[in-house]
């Protein structure tokens, strides 16, 4: 994608325009997988307000959120975000049905929950009534009874680590082996930090919200840092009502 800056001054973007702007690249490395993250940040660096991202978001941000989901094979999310944000299964959207079918995708992306402890409520709709079976990424030493509970609830458990925790690169590989190569992570901040430090992130779709929050909210990536900062290239910028919808890709 070439760098471009577009404004919605003449009206909101059509969903087809957004889908074209955020299309996954054809070249994705040896595994065929491409991992993008979608996050929102206030001007002063807060990824949340009072524990949730919605207060610093906007209607257009949510349209882009929905578009990114509609383009993905799988949405990767941390267990804490599932609990805080009240995650539900992804739904099929008629407006994207033809595009997904042409790309060889099912009606909706799967949700993949990253959890070492599997301390999850498997009676929630995310597990009990998804359109596409929910995946759970965990380590080899996850509690046996929780693995059993996940499978009994209909979730598909993938082991992506030799110990208790999930290894980011192995998570990407495990999903790619299932043919899920268009990957999207929506956080939370701890999960994003893990992907960054492992060098597994290919793209960041960052909404810069024209709001100030102060306080002690998390950054979009909150965890151990990299030894040397890694530079990404700006691919595109969209602007609407002071919100900047940026797209950065690995150089």
- The pLDDT of residue 145 is 96
d(CA 84, CA 3): 35
- Can you give the residue ranges of every domain in the chain? 5-23+32-243
Q: What is the mean pLDDT of residues 222-239?
A: 93
Least confident of 22-31, 134-143, 155-164, 178-187: 22-31
Query: If you compute the radius of gyration of the chain from its CA atoms, what whole number of angstroms results?
Result: 18
- The pLDDT of residue 224 is 86
d(CA 72, CA 19): 11
| Region 5-23+32-243: CATH code | 3.40.430.10
- The pLDDT of residue 50 is 86
- The pLDDT of residue 4 is 54
pTM of the predicted protein model: 0.92
Q: Residue 85 above 80 pLDDT?
A: no
User: What percentage of the chain has pLDDT greater than the value 90?
Assistant: 79
What's the pLDDT tens digit per position in 190-222?
999 999 999 999 999 999 999 999 998 889 999
- The pLDDT of residue 31 is 82
- The pLDDT of residue 6 is 57
Beta bridge partners of 138: 159
- The pLDDT of residue 52 is 81
Q: What is the mean pLDDT of residues 233-238?
A: 96
What's the pLDDT tens digit per position in 9-20?
556 789 999 999
- The pLDDT of residue 55 is 92
Q: Residue 100 above 60 pLDDT?
A: yes
- The pLDDT of residue 8 is 56
Q: Residue 148 above 80 pLDDT?
A: yes
Counting Cβ atoms within 10 Å, is residue 223 exposed (0-12), middle (13-18) or buried (19+)?
A: middle
Q: Which residue has the higher pLDDT, 96 or 9?
A: 96
DSSP track, 90-132:
----HHHHHHHHHTT--SS-EEEEE-SS----TTSHHHHS-SS
Phi/psi at 17 (5° precision):
-65, -45
User: What percentage of the chain has pLDDT greater than the value 70?
Assistant: 96
Beta bridge partners of 182: 34
- The pLDDT of residue 84 is 80
d(CA 121, CA 113): 12
Is residue 53 very low, low, confident or very high in pLDDT (cuts 50, 70, 90)? confident
Q: Residue 171 above 80 pLDDT?
A: yes
Instruction: Output the average pLDDT for the chain.
Output: 92
- The pLDDT of residue 93 is 94
Q: Residue 7 above 70 pLDDT?
A: no
């Amino acid at each position: 994608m070439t760098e471009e800056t577009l404004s919605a001054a003449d009206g909101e973007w059509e969903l087809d325009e957004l889908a074209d702007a955020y299309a996954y690249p054809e070249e994705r490395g040896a595994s065929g997988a491409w991992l993008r993250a979608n996050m929102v940040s206030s001007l002063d660096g807060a990824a949340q307000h009072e524990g949730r991202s919605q207060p610093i978001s906007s209607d257009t941000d949510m349209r882009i959120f929905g578009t990114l989901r509609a383009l993905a094979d799988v949405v990767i999310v941390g267990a804490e975000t599932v609990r805080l944000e009240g995650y539900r299964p992804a739904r099929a959207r008629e407006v994207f049905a033809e595009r997904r079918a042409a790309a060889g995708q099912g009606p909706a992306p799967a949700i993949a929950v990253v959890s070492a402890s599997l301390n999850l409520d498997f009676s929630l709709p995310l597990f009990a009534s998804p359109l596409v079976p929910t995946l759970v990424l965990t380590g080899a030493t996850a509690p046996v009874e929780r693995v059993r509970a996940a499978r009994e609830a209909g979730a598909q458990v993938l082991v992506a680590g030799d110990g208790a925790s999930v290894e980011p690169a192995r998570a990407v590989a495990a999903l790619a082996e299932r043919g899920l190569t268009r990957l999207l992570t929506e956080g939370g901040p701890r999960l994003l930090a893990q992907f960054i430090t492992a060098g597994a992130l290919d793209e960041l779709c960052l909404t810069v919200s024209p709001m100030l929050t102060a306080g002690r909210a998390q950054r979009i990536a909150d965890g151990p840092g990299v030894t040397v900062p890694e530079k990404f290239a700006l691919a595109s910028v969209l602007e609407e009502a002071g919100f900047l919808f940026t797209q950065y890709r690995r150089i």
